[in-house]
């Protein structure tokens, strides 16, 4: 489903699953988008209720009303899917068949080939521009894949990668009915979860090693942790090199940040803080090397660069809008 995705005029946008955390964030960001106007929102839970009644920050004057998920889409609208995997698997085939532009925020199609493009703009920008369907990356993977993939041919000299990521509740599972994510079990607490069995590890493996063949030359271990905060992810990626580390790693990332609008490089890993990326579409990172070990520290907002902001970034590219439109001032 490749096509020339250029649109001069504004477009109507539908947000399916608008009652969840990612859907709510999409609505917040799209309010400021000059070319995308939300015209249709769905939630079986909130069907019949006004947007302002459910999300007061959207304002009482909004004329939008939540519809059922099975309600028909307005004609000539683009679609953001902000529901779970099963929801996406039900909806996406019809969107593909009709040639409707869409971005799916679930994990359902991140391993698809051909008709749906993996939507990490800093890596697959040209493919996204020619696509009509995007699988938005996960929040943890975005914080990890971007710095690792950018190492290019240097990745061949890696023997082992150990990744520790800590996420706020909204990224780690706060959308699910799990007692482990209740306030009383998170407050004043810090713990790992899904050790060696997290659903994002295959995604990280696949795209961090993209272009290196079927079997990357290194092993990778990913261990997620739950932070007692609402939003934000901080990732520490430890790279063990086969021999001496490459020269110029800091300059490499510094130059990357100069050409990529949403990547910021810091001289010191200690400067990377979650509070500085909250409610932005940026990823902040830094690197330090000692002997045969390099440590990359990165941070992003799981609801923006890890979800809604990146989804809008992808939609902008497909429609021929400036990539940062509507999200450069988040």
Task: Give start and end residues of each alpha helix (H) in 159-304.
Answer: 169-172, 183-186, 201-208, 249-259
Q: What span, in angstroms and rounded, lies between the C-alpha atoms of 37 and 256? A: 32
Listed in sequence order, the residues at least 6 apart from 6 whose beta carbon sits closer than 8 Å to its beta carbon are: 319, 320
Asked if residues 76 and 14 have their Cβ atoms less than 8 Å apart, the reply is no
Asked if residues 146 and 120 have their Cβ atoms less than 8 Å apart, the reply is yes
Which residue of the set 139, 227, 234, 274 is catalytic?
139
Using a 10 angstrom Cβ sphere, with 0-12 exposed, 13-18 middle and 19 or more buried, the burial of residue 263 is: buried
Q: What span, in angstroms and rounded, lies between the C-alpha atoms of 256 and 147? A: 9
Six token digits for residue 183: 């306030």
Q: What span, in angstroms and rounded, lies between the C-alpha atoms of 59 and 25? A: 15
**Phi, psi values for residue 76, rounded to 5°:** 60, 35
Active site residue 39: no
Six token digits for residue 9: 């005029």
Helix (H, G, I), strand (E, B) or coil at 45: coil
Task: Give start and end residues of each alpha helix (H) in the chain.
Answer: 21-30, 51-54, 85-98, 121-129, 139-149, 169-172, 183-186, 201-208, 249-259, 309-319
The residues carrying an active-site annotation are: 139
């Amino acid at each position: 489903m490749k096509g020339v995705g250029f649109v001069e005029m504004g477009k109507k946008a539908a947000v399916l699953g608008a009652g969840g955390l990612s859907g709510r964030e999409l609505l917040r960001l799209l309010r400021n988008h000059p070319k995308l106007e939300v015209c249709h929102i769905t939630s079986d839970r909130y069907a019949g209720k006004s947007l302002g009644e459910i999300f007061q920050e959207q304002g009482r004057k909004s004329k939008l009303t939540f519809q059922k998920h099975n309600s028909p889409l307005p004609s000539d609208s683009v679609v953001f899917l902000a529901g779970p995997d099963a929801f996406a698997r039900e909806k996406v085939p019809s969107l593909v068949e009709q040639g409707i532009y869409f971005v799916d925020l679930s994990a359902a199609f991140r391993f698809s080939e051909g008709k749906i493009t993996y939507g990490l703009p800093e890596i697959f920008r040209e493919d996204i521009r020619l696509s009509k369907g995007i699988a938005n990356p996960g929040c943890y993977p975005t914080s990890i894949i971007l710095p690792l993939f950018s190492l290019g041919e240097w990745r061949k000299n890696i023997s082992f990668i150990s990744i520790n990521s800590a996420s706020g509740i909204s990224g780690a599972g706060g959308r699910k009915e799990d007692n482990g994510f209740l306030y009383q079990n998170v407050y004043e607490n810090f713990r790992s979860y899904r050790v060696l069995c997290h659903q994002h590890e295959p995604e990280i493996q696949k795209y961090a090693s993209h272009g290196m063949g079927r079997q990357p030359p290194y092993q990778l271990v990913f261990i997620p942790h739950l932070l007692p905060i609402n939003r934000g992810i901080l990732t520490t990626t430890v790279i063990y090199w086969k021999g001496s580390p490459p020269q110029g790693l800091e300059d490499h990332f510094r130059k990357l940040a100069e050409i990529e609008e949403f990547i910021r490089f810091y001289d010191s890993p200690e400067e990377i803080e979650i509070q500085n990326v909250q409610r932005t579409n940026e990823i902040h990172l830094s690197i330090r090397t000692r002997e045969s070990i390099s440590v990359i520290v990165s941070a992003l907002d799981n609801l923006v660069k890890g979800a809604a902001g990146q989804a809008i970034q992808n939609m902008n590219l497909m429609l021929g809008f400036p990539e940062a439109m509507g999200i450069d001032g988040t």
